[in-house]
Structure 1
Amino acid sequence: MTWRQEPRRLRPDAPNVLIVLIDDVGFGVPDTFGGEVHTPTLTRLRESGVCYNAFHTTSICSPTRAALLTGRNHHRVGNGTIAERATDFDGYTGVILRSAATLPEVLRHYGYKSSAFGKWHNTPTDQTTAMGPFDRWPTGHGFDYFYGFLAGETSQWEPRLYENLQAIEPPHGGTYHLTEDMVDKGLGWLKKHQAFTPDKPFLMYWAPGAVHGPHHIFPAWADKYKGKFDDGWDAYRERVFRRQQELGWVPRDAKLTPRDASMASWAGIPESERGFQRRLMEVFAGFVEHTDAQVGRLVDGLEALGLRDNTIILYIWGDNGSSAEGQKGSISELLAQNNVPNTIEQQLAAMQGLGGLAALGGPKMDNMYHAGWAWAGGAPFRSTKLVAAHFGGTRNPLVVSWPKGIKPDPAPRPQFHHVNDVAPTLYELIGVKPPAEVNGAKQDPIDGVSMAYSFADAKAPGRKLTQYFENNGSRGVYHDGWFAGTFGPLVPWDTAGSSPKLKTWDANQDPWQLYDLSKDFSQAEDLAAKEPERLAKMKELFLAEAKANRAFPIGGGLWTRFHPEDVLRSPYRSWRFDAETTRMPEFTAPGLGKRSNHVAIDVEVGPDASGVLYAMGGASGGLSVYMDAGRLVFEYNMLIIERTVARSEGKIAAGKHRIEVAETIPRPGTPDDVVLSVDGAEVARTTVKRTVPGAFTASETFDVGVDLGSPVSVEYFDRAPFKFGGKIERVFVEMK
């Protein structure tokens, strides 16, 4: 008998692929390319491959990832904005279309095994519960295995992890760190791959949450940088620019662009705040170096397994530029996302009870550095993440290393390329033609072009003629060596100050700039006034590209800032839960602490009962209702800087009871009048001075009977997850 055999659709030496995508790092951060943060793995791979200094992203998370995985423009595949701000506009739905199959969806038909580790930010937030639907999760987009988180960010200490479709909890303890865990799981998967399918090539997508906020790292890594940034971001930027020129990473005739007038200078920071600002940068730098070291462990593992020689590694240094979302420096990153007014003095005061400066980077903090550091980390460019008009938001270093197929060459490749070029490059190297149909779905055209032509020739003429950019109304277009762009209405380092402009913004009135990139590497000289006819043609080209790629309405990603009522959330008004209800993502859970509600809990308690009845959010912000030695407690953690507690005077007797919590919040962000009752009798009340209008966290959850993830309350921080010792029969929640 002749056994049926699977046909081989690949050449025998088809390469393996490892894509490493770092989060929120800028052009001027790594010492590989002139920065001041140690990145030996990036350097090691650069020395064994080739590098690109004109590679581009979309300037924001979800869109870059969608373009990377599909080879198409981000709006074309429905990812014109991040998953949390998805709308019904065609280019902004947050859903990768079936007409744009991902790399693993295509390659699995050719025999590839695939895995994804870390951040997956391409599932609409209302589809991330235990009931799915799961076709928009990583395994629904072609990956055989997934280990990571589904949101834009998570704690490195208590990440909200999933393995394939199952929610899992990381081990507790001071030695755990998510980025390290990702290496361990990645190498474990590779060993299984070798054991069970050694004849198959693999695709691994390794995308850590690092170094997106919160900046979480062990103190020893941050301490390596003590004193190295004492003279501030302006001086850092000048030093980096000089080294970039000396290394040949940027042309000798490039110019260092100035700091925007709306961003603080280092000299403008009060001396009383400088220690805080310095430590935030030291923590970030330690986080970056630690992340690069974990990539090194992964590469070491490939070598130990004998896989390195025929593995293409694409080390993409950033899904966008450095992030200015820390605004003026923050111990709770979502203060800016929620436009909550605060001062550095308030933050420093809140830190005192949590360990002071030493707590930065630790599990009780959600810290992110001052926007000035992000701007400095984008040297020599003028802007940051969220800006599509300037390369500080979109230009990220790329290194490609493939010992078997690419001869090392230190000369930077200057050809203009984009993250949508990764997929067609890999298809060419593997020998796969992008299919016209995948799983019954006719495929949209590939927008990217292969970069393979440039591997052997740093001076090869570029093959990418045109590329548009758009993010939150900031936009631009590249064409044949020229770039035109406009900043748009949103200032990333001052989102609160942007609000008045957003309300009156007219895209047709935005001023545009024009740059000749053949002579102006850093977009330092605006030629709009000198070449109005060229600018007019470039603006027309942008509109044509926007129309062809479903990018209208321009600024569609801003919609939920104008209309917060349209943010993706649960359609329900009432719920019945029990102690089996855990890991309910905040975006799908009841709006506790943000809108008026009533909660009734049927419980049975013993004497001196303790533990969480229900909790929403985590250490960075949230609310918790719990019992402590028999007393009922309500705690509101307003993004770390304010905490409000109501506690019953007497203990609740052993036995069955109905506990009720009533919150009255007139409008999002306004005070919250809270009343606690037991068996119909009031036992405590308080008023929360101000509430979180949008979201407490990006990935923390609603849990009944326990506080999973990072704990909301510092009162039970060392007892987390503080499981309730009694019995919770039912929890009824109703939004008023």
Structure 2
Amino acid sequence: MQRRFFPALMITLVLGTHTGVSIAADPAPVPDDGSVLPFPPPPSASIAGQTLQESTMIRRAAPNHLPADAPNILIILLDDVGFGLADTYGGPIHTPTLSRIANAGISYNAFHTTAICSPTRAALLTGRNHQRVGSGTIAERAVDWDGYTGEIPRTSATLAKVLGDYGYATAAFGKWHNTPATQTTAMGPFTLWPTGEGIGFDYFYGFLAGETSQWEPRLVENFNPIEPPHDARYHLSEDLAGQTITWLRKHRAFAPDKPFFVYWAPGAGHGPHHIFKEWADKYQGQFDHGWDQLRERTFAQQQALGWIPAATQLTPRAESMPAWESIPESERPFQRRLMEVFAGFVEHVDTQAGKVIDELERLGVRDNTIVFYVFGDNGSSAEGQQGSISELLAQNQIPNTMAQQRAALDQLGGLDALGGPKVDNIYHAGWAWAGDTPFQHTKLIASHFGGTRNPLAVSWPARIQPDRTPRPQFHHVNDIAPTIYDILHIQPPRVVDGFAQDPIDGTSMAYTFADAKAPGRKLTQYFDNNGSRGLYQDGWYACTFGPLTPWLTVSPGLATWDANQDPWELYNLKTDFSQAANLAAQEPQRLEAMKTLFLEQAQENQVFPIGAGIWLRLHPEDRIKTPYTRWQFDSTTTRMPEFTAPGLGRESNHVSIDASLGPDASGVLYALGGASGGLALYLDRGVLVYEYNMMIIERYTVRSQEKLPAGPHRIEVDTTIAKPGAPAEVVLSVDGQEVARTTVKRTVPAAFTASETLDVGTDLGSPVSLDYFDRRPFTFDGTIDSVKVVLK
């Protein structure tokens, strides 16, 4: 992507041969109308004479570029929850806070996201289309085409940057997922971290990756790593609510004259689905009849509430999606419990959002705070496929059976272990499909509204009258930023920090605040994710499913897919709310015209090549990764994200450790990953132990026969893996003598986890091995001088 600088702000120094340094003509003054940010400093009101007696000091007034009644702004964004889940709008999960916002304001039933995490967040925060801002796929799957770099460009300033320049105090809490995975270490670069200069928040507390353990999250405060307490009552969603309340109170104490902008994106209900047992137990028995009947029940309730038009049709299940009746009776308790856990997880996080709303009321600022509650950054997620106790099994395309999973689960405590810290469970894709009622399909599918349509509730007591009549205007997540600019009378700046700005793609929704029947103003919007794509144009929608079927471990034909051969569908949304009646055969000319318009939109917004998001599925060797092949670590090396760490579990490597041991030495020498998958080398009362945790379903452990005596030792681990996913031969040596070996029958081809790390001398976060689970982080009690790693 070409970066454009504003020439009027450039200063040229000219070196003269005789006259020294001269400065070119004065640059044009920076305008004070907001077209160029940051604003120029106000001129001094003081008069400087030659002496103090001849001078007058008048303190310049602080500039104010906002309306006198500028509202506070709170954006709540939940994760991986679909259109048909919240009981606010007819779903099965109790969402009291969403209902509270909806009852105090207005709701939109034709609001859309991008079908996937990072792109939705980038579009929300910038007001631009996701590929225009380099976010055509998630940060971990970034590739080097301009629309897919995973880097929000400086040419598209965020809400935080613009509002901050106008005088807002800004803070973000929870999931970020918009920093390139290789830029998340303690060495940065920090430009694209939430509080980095490229993004602009004043404060951040949360996690940078796409997901994390809710029990032992990999947290960051601004640029600093934070370790949560090892407390059985700790939960990330509760922590995020508490941290937000603390920040709001500090804001009141230190900057009460400033309005605030808070972005609260907790990460629930993205996998892993972690929640206290009592919250899951609230839903015991409520899903016993399976996802097909749940979908029918939800559809009837949606119609009864008037949330969807009376003429809406319930769309059928895809042929490749299993019916509930196909699930063996012996497996159904497992599948039911997975959904009960998910439901409790979502109700719990909605309840935590309510604590933030309570604090706004306690502080007396609720009346002039506009709340955007976006119920989901995409549709419900089918990435759990058959249901799983280790979420990334599916992401790694690792074949497994329900028998393997149930056997592993039985070792952890049976069904009661689901939702707890020893598993990374996620539910069956059938539940996700039911969660997207009445639409077809799920998250990752941009062609159909099961992947992209999410409820939105907006409340602003000072300005918006409560009205439960759904707003039917077609809108998109890129419309939130221009809506905020509109109500603040901010013209989107032409230049920010010297970078000429990309156009805003969104359309303000403010015209709908007082009029549920106002004609829609958003006439065109394209959709694309992993080659699944569509185009909205003035009430019509053309789309094609694309190459990827997220609920299947292997999508048929993916390797030979040709975008030019995709069959397209056509829907008249004015009469067909749920995309139930394909009119492609009846309206071929309209369809062809819309396909042409899609290509024009795609070219303008850097969508090409279509399907770039699946490149790494076909070419995993091109994954975003560290350029290094050798490293030297010591006990100061902790919290190294797996995406930047050596591939100890997937590539041939040699590790050499120089350490000094005491008698009966214990503790972790190094660990990569967490409870859902990883590997660890540790000492337990002098015995050297190596464990390869193959995504919970298999564990390979080997121990030295003898204890290692006290004193200095060189400990080596040699691992040979022929190709990704192949077996590993692991040999342990001490002082040049082999002490143990094992064969890992299959290895992880991509990554153990999304956010766990490599740690030396300890195992921070979720522990790899159950052997030291109750002793975590199981810090080594000797001294580690060096850990050298070489990829072979």
For normalisation by structure 1, the TM-score amounts to: 0.99
Query: What percentage of residue pairs aligned between the two structures are identical?
Result: 69
* Partners of 1:3 and 1:175 in 2: CA distance: 52
Letter in 2 for 1:648: S
* Partners of 2:465 and 2:501 in 1: CA distance: 34
* Partners of 2:128 and 2:96 in 1: CA distance: 32
Alpha-carbon RMSD across the aligned residues, in angstroms, is: 0.5
Instruction: Report SS of the residue matched to 1:716.
Output: helix
Q: Does 1:430 align with 2:488?
A: yes
Specify the alignment match of 2:51 in structure 1: none
Specify the alignment match of 2:10 in structure 1: none
* Partners of 1:138 and 1:5 in 2: CA distance: 30
Specify the alignment match of 1:31 in structure 2: 87
* Partners of 2:558 and 2:326 in 1: CA distance: 27
Specify the alignment match of 1:479 in structure 2: 537
Match of 1:497 among 554, 563, 566: 554
Specify the alignment match of 1:118 in structure 2: 174
Q: Does 1:109 align with 2:165?
A: yes
* Partners of 1:404 and 1:432 in 2: CA distance: 19
* Cα deviation digits, residues 285-328 of structure 1 (max 9, x gap): 00010011001111001100111010000000000000000000
Q: Does 1:614 align with 2:670?
A: yes
Q: Does 1:707 align with 2:763?
A: yes
Deviation at 1:502, TM superposition (A): 1.2
Specify the alignment match of 2:791 in structure 1: 735
Specify the alignment match of 1:20 in structure 2: 76
* Partners of 1:717 and 1:104 in 2: CA distance: 40
Conservation of the 8 A alpha-carbon contact between 2:83 and 2:437 = yes
Match of 1:684 among 715, 737, 740: 740
* Partners of 1:586 and 1:497 in 2: CA distance: 24
Deviation at 1:429, TM superposition (A): 1.0
* Partners of 1:726 and 1:431 in 2: CA distance: 62
* Partners of 1:440 and 1:408 in 2: CA distance: 42
Match of 1:191 among 226, 231, 249: 249
Q: Does 1:311 align with 2:362?
A: no
Q: Does 1:158 align with 2:216?
A: yes
For normalisation by structure 2, the TM-score amounts to: 0.92
Q: Does 1:717 align with 2:773?
A: yes
Conservation of the 8 A alpha-carbon contact between 2:128 and 2:505 = yes
Match of 2:631 among 572, 575, 582: 575
Specify the alignment match of 2:44 in structure 1: none
Specify the alignment match of 1:137 in structure 2: 193
* Partners of 2:365 and 2:58 in 1: CA distance: 32
* Partners of 1:430 and 1:661 in 2: CA distance: 60
Alignment of 1:267-286 (within 5 A): 267-286=325-344
> Post-superposition, which runs of at least 4 consecutive aligned residues in structure 1 deviate over 4 A?
none
Alignment of 1:13-92 (within 5 A): 13-92=69-148
Match of 1:414 among 463, 469, 472: 472
Q: Does 1:668 align with 2:724?
A: yes
Deviation at 1:394, TM superposition (A): 0.1
Specify the alignment match of 2:12 in structure 1: none
Deviates further, 49-58 or 433-442: 433-442
* Partners of 1:4 and 1:153 in 2: CA distance: 47
Aligned residues: 734
Specify the alignment match of 1:634 in structure 2: 690
* Cα deviation digits, residues 666-701 of structure 1 (max 9, x gap): 000000000000000000000000000000000000
* Partners of 1:431 and 1:365 in 2: CA distance: 49
Specify the alignment match of 1:401 in structure 2: 459
Letter in 1 for 2:740: A
Deviation at 1:12, TM superposition (A): 1.6
* Partners of 1:621 and 1:167 in 2: CA distance: 22
Deviation at 1:497, TM superposition (A): 2.4
Deviation at 1:155, TM superposition (A): 0.2
Deviation at 1:350, TM superposition (A): 0.4
Alignment of 1:225-624 (within 5 A): 225-494=283-552, 496-498=553-555, 500-624=556-680
Instruction: Report SS of the residue matched to 1:138.
Output: coil
Deviation at 1:501, TM superposition (A): 1.2
Specify the alignment match of 2:14 in structure 1: none
Q: Does 1:200 align with 2:255?
A: no
Conservation of the 8 A alpha-carbon contact between 2:546 and 2:566 = yes
* Partners of 2:486 and 2:291 in 1: CA distance: 42
* Partners of 1:109 and 1:115 in 2: CA distance: 14
Match of 1:6 among 56, 62, 74: 62
* Partners of 1:525 and 1:492 in 2: CA distance: 23
Match of 1:655 among 682, 691, 711: 711
Instruction: Report SS of the residue matched to 2:348.
Output: helix
Deviation at 1:108, TM superposition (A): 0.9
* Cα deviation digits, residues 427-484 of structure 1 (max 9, x gap): 0112211111111110011000000000100000000000000000100000000001
Instruction: Report SS of the residue matched to 1:600.
Output: strand
* Partners of 1:165 and 1:565 in 2: CA distance: 30
Select the structure of larger CA radius of gyration: 2
Query: Please, which runs of 5 or more residues in structure 2 have no aligned partner?
Result: 1-56
* Partners of 1:719 and 1:618 in 2: CA distance: 14
Letter in 2 for 1:417: H
Query: Please, which runs of 5 or more residues in structure 1 have no aligned partner?
Result: none
* Partners of 1:303 and 1:554 in 2: CA distance: 47
Deviation at 1:365, TM superposition (A): 0.7
Deviation at 1:4, TM superposition (A): 2.2
Deviation at 1:5, TM superposition (A): 2.5
Conservation of the 8 A alpha-carbon contact between 2:397 and 2:554 = no
Instruction: Report SS of the residue matched to 2:302.
Output: helix
* Partners of 1:348 and 1:193 in 2: CA distance: 49
Instruction: Report SS of the residue matched to 2:64.
Output: coil
